[in-house]
Every structure is written in structure tokens, then in C-alpha cells.
Homo-oligomer: A and B are copies of this chain.
């Protein structure tokens, strides 16, 4: 059974096929958030702290930490800013962290101060990148996200993306890094631009799980880019990728609809033992106002729901006595 172990100073988390889905909170990331970027450059980490606490409160399993503010020379400035951000976050929350940078020097600087066993986000199939990152992964004995693109870019052909992932796993093995420390991101395309994007990724996830036996992740919200009511598409995507074998995602845990689908899919996937988390989370759940529901008032009371289910089962069972 594939087990990717990540840890903070005090808490260990296993990413695996038999584990609850690992929600990697994506909010601590200044890319595209000008205000946050300006704050971080000015040494103000109040938004970072709030994002950290909010995401953990919302149920994040771990947090991604990215300090990629726009800079003339990221190699000069990003290491210090990433180290500073990482230290603030790891002193504030107990969940494991993901060190997210495209600057190898920043990743190494962060690894030097990180407590526990962080996830590194990320390496690609590009030779230059592999040669820069894999020695760090080996040296610090940490797991890494492997994005399935290479020098030729992101292929629209899922077979090519599978081969890139396989190449990364093989190259990692050359460095003595086991496959269970590689978490493959098969790359999710926007379904609005490519109608096969969903089926592609479901098929890829199965192959990655069955053939490469690796854990998997993705930037979840990419799937809904450009569509109205993106949260609905994201919410439907979550149970489908979990059903197809995905074991983690980089996503926004502060969205209740998406987190509800994570918890529901964990129940249905058999990774929420005795439905414990579901029951604890929703035992006092009050149905939202009926909104555009056409259901009668009676059918939205929980008593009526229970009898409705009994009815259906009763109906089916009762039939067997009659011909």
C-alpha cells in the first residue's frame, strides 16, 4: 500500500489510497493577489496568518506555502521571503506544510528551517529541474509533487503525460528516492476549453495508481476555469477524482460546498470509519431554506427523509412477497 508520510513538528499525516482525502490548502500564495504580495514584501504577515488559521479551521489536512511575489530577480529575494513565511506558518499551526516554489534556492533555504517532513511542490519532467530538485529531495528525505509536463510543455495527450510522470519516478529512483515519495500531478485542463479533460484525468489517475502505484494531486479549481458557478463544477469534480483514485488536491478548504463533497466522498470511499467525521460535522445540520427546491415542506424534514428511504427499501423488499 502506497503511503506518503508528511509531518509538522508535532503531527504526522499519511497520504494514501486507504486514507481520507488530503486537502492541501492553497490560500497562502501571493501569485495574482497583489495586496497580499505587497503586504508580504513589506513584512506584514497578518493576511498570511489569517489564511493559515482559517484554512485549518475549515478542515485543511495540510497547507501549501508559496512566497512567489513578482520580483526582478526571484533567485535573490524569494529564498528569504519563503523562509520567513514558512517559519511564521509553522509556528502558528500544527498541520504539515507544503513548500511551494519554482526557485530551487528558495526550496533549499526553506528545507533548512522546516520542521517535520514537508512536501516539496514541485518538480517537473524537465531535465534541468530534475537535476536541481531531486538531489534536495534525497538529501532532506522529503516527498515531492511531480508535475507531468516537460521541456515540450503540457501535452494534451494523456499518454504523454503518463510517460512524463513515469520518467520522473524512474529518475527519482536513480537518486534512491522511492515511488511512495512522489505525488504525481497529472495536470487538470479546464473542462470548458476541452470537453475530454475530465475523462482524461480520470483515466490517468487510474493508470498512475495501478501502474505506477503513486499518490496523486492536482490544482483542483483549474477544471472549472471560465465556467459560471465554478464551485458547483469543483464540487462535482471532487467525488469523481476521489472515485478514480486521487489521494490529495491543492484547493481552497474555505469553501463549504467543496469540503462537504470531500467529506461525503470519504464516507463513500470507505476512508471515514463508521462515518465518524461526517456525523460529527453534520449531526446538527439544518437544511438550508428550500430556495429553488420544489420539494414539499414535509419531505425536507429529517423524519420524512428517513421514512422515504425506508419506503424505497421497504418497497423493494415488500415486492419479493408478491407476484
Contact = CB atoms under 8 A, between A and B. Distances in A.
Nearest to A129: B323
A231 interface: yes
Given A222-B313, A264-B232, A270 B306 contact: no
Given A269-B199, A310-B225, A315 B230 contact: no
Nearest to A271: B195
A291 B223 CA distance: 24
Contacts of A228: 278-279, 282-285, 302
Contact of A270 (B199, B270, B292, B309): B199
B309 A233 contact: no
B306 A202 contact: no
Majority-rule SS of A interface residues: helix
Interface residues of A, number: 106
A102 B322 CA distance: 6
Contacts of A306: 225-226
A9 B115 CA distance: 69
A112 interface: no
Given A239-B237, A264-B232, A295-B254, A192 B54 contact: no
A13 interface: no
A273 B195 contact: yes
A312 B222 contact: yes
Number of identical protomers: 2
Interface string A310-323: 11111110111011
A299 to B, nearest CB: 7
Nearest to A198: B268
B126 A312 contact: no
Contacts of A254: 293-295, 299
A244 interface: yes
Contacts of A226: 306, 309
Contacts of A128: 323
A182 to B, nearest CB: 17
A230 to B, nearest CB: 5
A11 interface: no
Contacts of A270: 195-196, 198-199
A270 B199 CA distance: 7
Contacts of A153: 320
A137 to B, nearest CB: 15
A295 B288 CA distance: 19
A128 B292 CA distance: 45
A264 B242 CA distance: 15
Nearest to A128: B323
Contacts of A307: 32
Given A31-B318, A32-B310, 17 more contacts: A57-B294, A68-B315, A102-B320, A190-B309, A195-B273, A227-B278, A228-B282, A228-B283, A233-B268, A236-B238, A236-B267, A239-B261, A240-B265, A240-B268, A243-B243, A288-B288, A288-B291
